[in-house]
Copies of this chain bind each other. A is one copy, B any other.
Amino acid sequence: MEDFHKRIAGLVLRVLALAATLTAAIIMGTSKESANFYALSFEVNYNDTPAFKYFVIVNAVVSVYSFLALFVPSKSSFWRLIVALDLLVTLMLTSCISAALAIAQVGKNGNSITRWLPICNQVPDYCDRVTIALAAGFAAAILYLMVLAASAHAALDEDDCC
């Protein structure tokens, strides 16, 4: 019975993580805004910033993996592989949220020494969408840390039992 509850908790965490990565990928992937700056007109798009593109790709790939991992049976010899993949996914999410956050910080505050101007005054809606996507990505990374702990436990139980 306790095993059953653990299994359900693990599945709930994975579904929440899937929702978070899917939200992050979709919101960042549909972020664009046009703006006029003096005589110049320009359109910003997640696709122009390598760190944001990386963020969308990682969150999309992790969404697919999270969906597939829901169907791994609880008594499976795959659990060690699942732990390794969950670790890889946690590292990938940590990496993409950190890279995107570093760029978003420059977009918001600029950098006076390198003379990179902040752009959020010109494209506030774009910046709001990026912020929401980053929050969802951050939630996904935290959730995956919990998924990793749960699957490591499951793998240890499997080891103990056989």
Q: Which residues of A contact B (CB under 8 A)?
A: 42-45, 48-51, 87, 90-91, 94-103, 105-107, 111-117, 119, 145, 156, 159
Q: How many copies does the complex hold?
A: 2
| A89 CB → nearest B CB, Å | 12
Residues from chain B with a CB closer than 8 A to the CB of A114 are 44, 48-49, 107, 116-117, 119
Interface pairs (26), CB distance under 8 Å: A42-B113, A43-B113, A44-B114, A45-B113, A48-B111, A48-B112, A49-B111, A49-B114, A51-B102, A90-B91, A91-B94, A94-B95, A94-B98, A95-B95, A95-B97, A100-B102, A102-B102, A103-B103, A103-B106, A106-B106, A106-B116, A107-B114, A114-B117, A114-B119, A116-B117, A156-B156
A101-B99 in contact (CB<8A)? yes
